[in-house]
Structure 1
Amino acid sequence: MSLAETILPGSRIRTGAIPWRCSGWLAVFIALTTLGTAAVVAVVAAAVEEWSPATGLALALVTPGALWVSGGAATAILGCLRKPPPPPAVPDDWRPKQRTAILVLLCGEAADPLSSYLAGLRRQLAAQGLAEATTVFVLSDTHEAVRIADEEAALAPLIAAGTVVYRRRSERTGHKPGNIAEWLAARSDGFTYMLVLDADSRMSAGRIRALMHRIETEPGLGLLQAGIARVRGRSLFGRHQRLSGRLLSPHFGRGLAAWSGKAGNYWGHNAIMRIAAFRSAAALPILSGPRPFGGTPLSHDFVEAAWIRREGWVVALDPDTRGSAEDGPQTLADFHRRDRRWCQGNLQHLRLIGEPGLDPVSRLHLALGIIGYLAAPVWLALMILVASDAVAIQGVLPLLAIATILMLPKLCALGHWLLRARTRRRQRLILRAGLHELAVSTLVAPLVMLRQSGAVLSVLAGRDCGWKRERPRALALPPWLPEVASGTGLLALGAAAGSASSLPWLLPVALPLLGAPLLQRWLERGA
């Protein structure tokens, strides 16, 4: 059966690759990103005291780093320029004509919180008139005996009541994508749409209803990704992530939706999609050769979005985070572990970005994911060149230029919220929250840069992290040892070079690295 034959009766959609046209928002994004990158490179070049091969290398390294931060700033500016769209109006008497499967993917996570959430969600769905139009499937890949027992005990009341349909695979072929593909092959008959949630995802029935209404009334829409907030964190680090999301997400999401247009992205969960559209992406490409660059793509969601768009379907982003959330890492160790897997997955996209027929904006999403991780070792290499005095930068203007571009998303967010504040007390709260977010982000950024640099080098060296659980090491070293060693090394290089001009560049990076033991303990309180 062709794709055109599987969509709603009476609707039409162009299948196959579609002609591409650069939208106005995308043109503005490209122009702003180019302008920001050129400005940083020009300012750094003008501040070079003496040209040498090392200076040329430094300038070459500045370019991708500046491209990454300028892209983030451009997205934030677009979000400020674009007015928030009005919330979608769903008629009170609307009832879906087609059925939606709500797929909850579970792999070893605690099942008790999920069970409580799903029991409440079923009651909400019934109150919204969606009981007959939705079925909740819990698709488990849990394989440890103790966790399986806990999972089955937690979900048993829901299974007995018919609240959820539970299935646990004995063979975890293909991991999460394979789990969904198996459901598609065996259980998708009778469903037109599927909404994907992770075990730590939380969506309200009202938001699910709005997504269902939109995808049913837009026949060309293949995938609709909802904006995602953070649930309340248990540690200071978790609360910081939530605060950052609340401050930065509204305008950043609007900017991303603006320049992405009909070729948006998919983040793996909190999204609804047309099953007919997703079938074109369910069979992920298997990359030849050994891991880490071979095998099934780890960051499969970007690839699935690109494949769906290649077939002519619209992939859209609804940036509103209301009624859509997820939990996040509560410790730096958990954050780095997840980020390491994402790093490998994004670098695998180097082998997919040239696939024929992809929408140019889909290629841009893949490219930005790659650059986002390569930027970390780029900045670290620049720090080493500056610390060793191999590159002498005159004055602080280049540092101020980079800091200004880095600050633009935060300034956009601060302006957005201050304009909405109606009282001085509210304005003070916003300013205090903004300063707190800036301070913690500034302290954490060098730690993330160092670990991402290590992750990139690990992938390039051929080390695979895959979906494996971390095994305890025979020799337990302090988790902050790489940070302290790197901070000490940077300051030692600067001291040996004897260049005072490098201090403004080194201190904001080296001091948080040296303070990693105290910083980690402070951030993880309550985790």
Structure 2
Amino acid sequence: MSSPDLPQAERSVETEAGDETRPRGAGPAPRPASFRLRRLALAGPTLATAAAIAALALAAYGLPETWLGRTVLGLFVLLMAWQSFTAWQYLYGLIAALMGDRALSSLERRAATISTRPTGLSRTAAVVAIHAEDPIAVFSAIRVMARSLQREGGDGSDIDIFVLSDTREGAISAVEEHEFARIQAWSQREGRGMPRIRYRRRTDNKGRKAGNIAEFCQTYGHEYDFMIVLDADSLMTGAAMRRLARLMEENPRTGLIQTVSYAAGRDTLFARIQQFAVRLYAPLSLRCLETWQGPDGSYWGHNAILRIEAFANNAELPVLSGKPPLGGEILCHDIVEGALLRRAGWEVRLLPEMGGTWEEMPTNLIDLLGRERRWCQGNLQHIRVLPMKGLLGASRWHLGVGILGYCVYPLWIAFLALGTWQAVRSGELGLIGYGIDGASAAAAALAALVVAVMALPKLLSLGYVLASPRRRADFGGTRSLLVSAALEQVTWVLLWPVMALFAAGAVVTTLFGRVVRWDTQSRDDRSVPWGEAFRLQSDAIAAGGALAVLLALSGSPWLALWMAPVAMALLTSPVQSVLTSSTRLGLGSKARGLFLTEDDTRPARELLELHQSRTVGADPAAIGAASAPWLAVSIDEAGTPTLR
């Protein structure tokens, strides 16, 4: 069985007569009401705060006379401008969240009340794009989503699940076809209401994932109105799929709706800390993003629904001039496709709070850094996309923020290195210490403002959760939340220097022409061996050793104390990689009520079923049969985690 489209089980599909009522979209939308004031409300305070920090720095230390001092000052101002932007996003998001429904778009308000029953007016393909993934894991998730759709009712003809394989390895493709045959037989046994499950494997992998999706639109797009794009590690409830399809039916000028898929389902200590941190800190920034962008949103590549006709006609990717890494095929294609869709006039919307969608993330530091290197090259390619004609200002901003998100790391490394060298020569911490050792009122004000800017995002997020009993319970109660947040902060202090050094190196090597391989990433709970950790993080050890020697020779105890966490983090980076990749430590933290999220304290049925499929194997009959939940703790009335 190696044909591009394997034989399908007999399933009912929408008749041609029904096509007359299927929504094809009302065409590109006219210009919406201006969001200028909302955007000025973010840009104005950001620029004012950055200007205030710059003025206080000059007042505290004066205009430097040396090239070293001026360089450190320039880097400091640039970095604090970026930090100010981050801080104001969270404050902006908090204000919008406190406004309640008044800050929500009409699409968000409708999403909260819309029925999940199929209307029969449209057909949707939930496409799962894969390349050399674990077929058993992929089809296990598809089985969970198919069962979820069946529970929502209907005859199953409104949504098909379509696996789009780009796998070239013969052994893996054979397993894919075997798993497809198994799920077809299972689907027939399950009876009425199951979605049609389809599979297609390309023989020509032109364009990677973007080409895979484009080929689907060309070959099968005429059969569907919408497509829900999923990654190999994506999971979405049937209710969420139906809700998205209904929203697209009711909003014919919307070309794309992006959902927020939170990381869940992995159990290494690293994964659990990251899952906790994203759940805790992302909501306010996402609320800010949705509030200022309106219909000028962005596409994140998965867990989103697209109008096929609009996407196929307007989102064809250009090939960038020049050679890789900055030229050639666009690697991070999703944000560019969203910009092209918006350029054509279609609304691109974000639903930050809909729920029912998940993804997985790298389960250890080594795999995360590998993904970051790939994403770095993809985002830096957007330098050549920015001048593209016709793009909206908001789309250019999305692209620019992605570029700056990586370029800020070389600035941080340069600031820390040059600032440390300046402190060694002058005997004062100066700007590298944010003014904490200054004797003047201006230095004290500078230190207070910088610390506030740096701490505000996490403090606001923590306060927002603590203010609500329901949100506190989602994180396991007040004590669990506070202890977990404190431990996450300690972990972040140790991880950040390693990640910053690595990202800075990725930016520099990319700009100097290094091309990375875009391989399939490891998605399992993988423990990092000691040899791999030391081999791949030898540069961090060398940088940490050099810094430690410099601090020892500086003769400045304050400088040594201030920079010691950075040196220690770099020197111990292999130890961090190995220990945080431990599943035993991750499950131990869960058993003790640490790093809990709502996916632990009140997990969705789909997450439970996916976990069961991993625990009992890929036997379809076993999924959903077990009744024992997999969470190791429960929450009592006082909000305290207790062992089961």
Structure 1-normalised TM-score?
0.91
- State the match for 1:103 in structure 2: 127
The Cα of 1:393 is off from its aligned counterpart by 4.5
- State the match for 2:15 in structure 1: none
- Give, as a single letter, the amino acid of the residue that structure 2 aligns with 1:126: Q
Q: Pick from 173, 176, 179 the counterpart of residue 154 of structure 1.
A: 179
Residues in 1 aligned to 2:266 and 2:448: alpha-carbon distance in whole angstroms = 33
* 1:68 and 1:372 in contact (8 A); partners too: no
The Cα of 1:499 is off from its aligned counterpart by 4.5
* 2:114 and 2:243 in contact (8 A); partners too: yes
Matches within 5 A, 1:274-293: 274-293=307-326
The Cα of 1:412 is off from its aligned counterpart by 1.4
Q: Pick from 145, 150, 173 the counterpart of residue 121 of structure 1.
A: 145
Q: Which whole-Å deviations, capped at 9, do the CAs of 1:151-203 have from their partners, x for residues lacking one?
A: 22222212454742111112210000000011111111121111100000011
Residues in 1 aligned to 2:271 and 2:292: alpha-carbon distance in whole angstroms = 30
* 1:229 and 1:326 in contact (8 A); partners too: yes
Residues in 2 aligned to 1:107 and 1:37: alpha-carbon distance in whole angstroms = 45
Matches within 5 A, 1:4-23: 8=23, 11-14=26-29, 18=31, 21-23=34-36
- Give, as a single letter, the amino acid of the residue that structure 1 aligns with 2:329: T
- State the match for 1:3 in structure 2: none
Tell me the secondary structure at the aligned position of residue 189 of structure 1.
helix
Q: Pick from 450, 453, 466 the counterpart of residue 405 of structure 1.
A: 453
Q: Which whole-Å deviations, capped at 9, do the CAs of 1:342-399 have from their partners, x for residues lacking one?
A: 1011111111112121111111111111111011110000111112126864342556
Tell me the secondary structure at the aligned position of residue 497 of structure 2.
helix
2:103 is equivalent to residue 52 of structure 1:
no
2:573 is equivalent to residue 516 of structure 1:
yes
- State the match for 2:599 in structure 1: none
Q: Percent identity?
A: 34
- State the match for 2:54 in structure 1: 41
2:143 is equivalent to residue 143 of structure 1:
no
Distance 1:93 1:33, change over 3 A: same
* 2:316 and 2:337 in contact (8 A); partners too: no
Deviates more, 1:505-514 or 1:157-166: 157-166
Gaps of 5+ in 2: 1-20, 102-108, 189-195, 437-443, 522-530, 585-644
- State the match for 1:190 in structure 2: 223
Residues in 2 aligned to 1:10 and 1:270: alpha-carbon distance in whole angstroms = 21
* 1:139 and 1:166 in contact (8 A); partners too: yes
Residues in 1 aligned to 2:581 and 2:366: alpha-carbon distance in whole angstroms = 10
- State the match for 1:359 in structure 2: 392
* 1:339 and 1:452 in contact (8 A); partners too: yes
Structure 2-normalised TM-score?
0.75
Distance 1:7 1:76, change over 3 A: farther
Q: Which whole-Å deviations, capped at 9, do the CAs of 1:75-95 have from their partners, x for residues lacking one?
A: 211221113545521136552
- State the match for 1:463 in structure 2: 514
- State the match for 1:64 in structure 2: 78
Residues in 2 aligned to 1:232 and 1:399: alpha-carbon distance in whole angstroms = 40
The Cα of 1:253 is off from its aligned counterpart by 1.3
Residues in 2 aligned to 1:150 and 1:45: alpha-carbon distance in whole angstroms = 65
* 1:298 and 1:466 in contact (8 A); partners too: no
* 1:247 and 1:413 in contact (8 A); partners too: yes
- Give, as a single letter, the amino acid of the residue that structure 2 aligns with 1:215: M
- Give, as a single letter, the amino acid of the residue that structure 2 aligns with 1:311: A
- State the match for 1:258 in structure 2: 291
Tell me the secondary structure at the aligned position of residue 289 of structure 1.
coil
Distance 1:321 1:442, change over 3 A: farther
- State the match for 2:464 in structure 1: 416
* 1:13 and 1:220 in contact (8 A); partners too: yes
Gaps of 5+ in 1: 1-5
- State the match for 2:5 in structure 1: none
* 1:286 and 1:296 in contact (8 A); partners too: yes
Distance 1:133 1:19, change over 3 A: closer
Residues in 2 aligned to 1:386 and 1:197: alpha-carbon distance in whole angstroms = 45
The Cα of 1:414 is off from its aligned counterpart by 0.7
2:145 is equivalent to residue 132 of structure 1:
no
The Cα of 1:517 is off from its aligned counterpart by 2.4
Tell me the secondary structure at the aligned position of residue 390 of structure 2.
coil
Residues in 1 aligned to 2:115 and 2:359: alpha-carbon distance in whole angstroms = 28
2:89 is equivalent to residue 75 of structure 1:
yes
Matches within 5 A, 1:188-337: 188-320=221-353, 322-337=355-370
Q: Which whole-Å deviations, capped at 9, do the CAs of 1:108-152 have from their partners, x for residues lacking one?
A: 121212212212211221232351111111001112223222322
The Cα of 1:298 is off from its aligned counterpart by 1.1
- Give, as a single letter, the amino acid of the residue that structure 2 aligns with 1:444: L
Distance 1:410 1:10, change over 3 A: closer
* 1:88 and 1:210 in contact (8 A); partners too: no
Residues in 1 aligned to 2:313 and 2:406: alpha-carbon distance in whole angstroms = 28
Distance 1:92 1:487, change over 3 A: closer
* 1:139 and 1:168 in contact (8 A); partners too: yes
- State the match for 2:639 in structure 1: none
RMSD: 2.6
Distance 1:469 1:191, change over 3 A: closer
The Cα of 1:101 is off from its aligned counterpart by 0.9
* 2:315 and 2:338 in contact (8 A); partners too: no
Distance 1:400 1:515, change over 3 A: farther
Residues in 2 aligned to 1:10 and 1:523: alpha-carbon distance in whole angstroms = 48
- State the match for 2:373 in structure 1: 340
Residues in 1 aligned to 2:142 and 2:120: alpha-carbon distance in whole angstroms = 21
The Cα of 1:105 is off from its aligned counterpart by 0.7
Q: Pick from 15, 27, 31 the counterpart of residue 40 of structure 2.
A: 27
Deviates more, 1:312-321 or 1:394-403: 394-403
Distance 1:256 1:304, change over 3 A: same
Residues in 2 aligned to 1:11 and 1:267: alpha-carbon distance in whole angstroms = 24
* 1:265 and 1:302 in contact (8 A); partners too: yes
Residues in 2 aligned to 1:434 and 1:379: alpha-carbon distance in whole angstroms = 24
Q: How many residue pairs get matched? A: 516
- State the match for 2:587 in structure 1: none
Distance 1:144 1:54, change over 3 A: same
Residues in 1 aligned to 2:447 and 2:132: alpha-carbon distance in whole angstroms = 45
* 1:102 and 1:196 in contact (8 A); partners too: yes
Distance 1:522 1:92, change over 3 A: closer
Residues in 1 aligned to 2:198 and 2:25: alpha-carbon distance in whole angstroms = 32
- Give, as a single letter, the amino acid of the residue that structure 1 aligns with 2:573: A
Distance 1:346 1:487, change over 3 A: same
Residues in 2 aligned to 1:301 and 1:522: alpha-carbon distance in whole angstroms = 34
Distance 1:237 1:45, change over 3 A: farther
Q: Which whole-Å deviations, capped at 9, do the CAs of 1:432-487 have from their partners, x for residues lacking one?
A: 222122222222111110110110011011000142469xxxx9762221111111
* 2:163 and 2:198 in contact (8 A); partners too: yes
Tell me the secondary structure at the aligned position of residue 328 of structure 1.
coil
